[in-house]
Amino acid sequence: MRMNKDNIITLPHADLRKRSVRVGVITKDIVKLVAAMEAATIDWEESREHEVGVALAAVQVDELYRIVVIREDFNDKKNKKFEALINPEIVKYEGEIEEDFEGCLSVKDVYGKVPRHTKVRVKALNLKGKEIRMKAEGFLARVLQHEIDHINGKLFVDHIEDKPEAFYQLGNTGKIEELDDEQRTTIFAQIFSE
């Protein structure tokens, strides 16, 4: 199973709104899917000048399994290693709720200032079927919440749908920029069209 950036589906694709199913057995096909997801994320990243592919959920390559891959090191683009989380779930939200910018490989060229908890506790299985538990804070906590939303059929834009001022775009220089009213109207039509 080979994948690249073209396998990543984007809004308004209906499957992004579907709940993914639990993985019952970690088969060779699941292991291959994880590798393909990692390859698609790296290929996407290599096509973007100012962005890093930090994580991907299986639904984003139109495979409705509760699988997430997360970059081992968010700050080092040369490090192309990921950790796979099978059937991840947040068992506890902690800390404060803070707004910060998020983007998504399935929401083209749009960023949003999204409220998230600053700390979470997550449990999942690794690729060997062993249960792992992790405490995450800061950016990792945000990424985990974002990706676990994906497997539940929710995207970051859904958290700010009623806040047009919370939507932004990535400019040519790699800086996040505010949208004018016309851009906002166009983006809302693309994102929230059924």
Name the burial class of residue 20, with classes exposed (0-12), middle (13-18) and buried (19+) by CB atoms within 10 angstroms of its CB.
buried
Structure tokens, 87: 């059937």
Residue 93 · residue 72 · CB < 8 Å: no
31-48 b/e (C-beta count within 10 Å ≥ 16 → b): eebbbbbbbbbbbbbeee
Residue 147 bears catalytic tag? yes
Q: How many CB atoms lie within 10 A of CB 49?
A: 9
Structure tokens, 45: 């990243």
Of 147, 165, 182, 194, which one is the catalytic site residue? Answer: 147
Residue 176 · residue 101 · CB < 8 Å: yes
Residue 190 · residue 11 · CB < 8 Å: yes
**Which of the 8 DSSP states describes residue 21?**
B
Active site residue ranges: 147
